[in-house]
Amino acid sequence: MLSKLKDITTFVFDVDGVLTDGSVFVTEAGDQCRTFNTRDGYALQLAVKCMYNVVVITGGRSEGVRLRLNSLGITDVYLGAHVKLDIFENYIAEHYIDRQSVLYMGDDIPDIDIMKVVGLPTCPTDAAEEVKAISQYISPALGGRGCARDVIEKVMKIQGKWMSENATSL
């Protein structure tokens, strides 16, 4: 798995169960709220600043999620994705990205189709067993509790970009 880290140029993440812990709080008015981890957020914005492609594909439709991700510099956010693989295939074709240079992190059944075609399929430690079975790396961190930071940091460290002068001065 370590040899694959050096070739990663693109991170693709699911939201619920990966960037959040999978909990959805519903207010009396029907609004849905999620909690994001600030350490994951730091790593995500750093990856964007260091010129990695950072993409989020989720079945959820929360504009609050889009706003949070946009505030981190992530502009490639796809909400309401019923067939995630179609969005992924279109994205890599439009951006001329080799699927072997993609790290995907998912946690549940809707993520499996993409995980089967990327260079490095990963998941949080609390992912569904079916997802764990096809993951080449299982983060020791839980979904929404540092798993995104874990994989981004590993990639950036092996590529010499984590805590580099360029990264810290951005």
Kindly list the structural domains of the chain, giving each domain's residue range(s) and its CATH number in brackets, ordered by start.
Answer: 2-163 (3.40.50.1000)
Instruction: List Cβ neighbours of 128 (8 Å cut-off, separation of 6 or more).
Output: 107, 108, 109
Express each pLDDT in 75-107 by its tens digit: 999 999 989 999 999 999 999 999 999 999 999
The mean pLDDT of 33-44, rounded to a whole number, is 95
Lookup result for tokens 């370590």: 2
CA atoms of 102 and 122, how far apart (whole Å): 11
Contact 9, 53 (CB under 8 A): yes
Contact 116, 134 (CB under 8 A): yes
CA atoms of 88 and 66, how far apart (whole Å): 17
Contact 127, 108 (CB under 8 A): yes
The pTM of the full predicted model, rounded to 2 decimals, is 0.94
Largest CA distance in the chain: 49
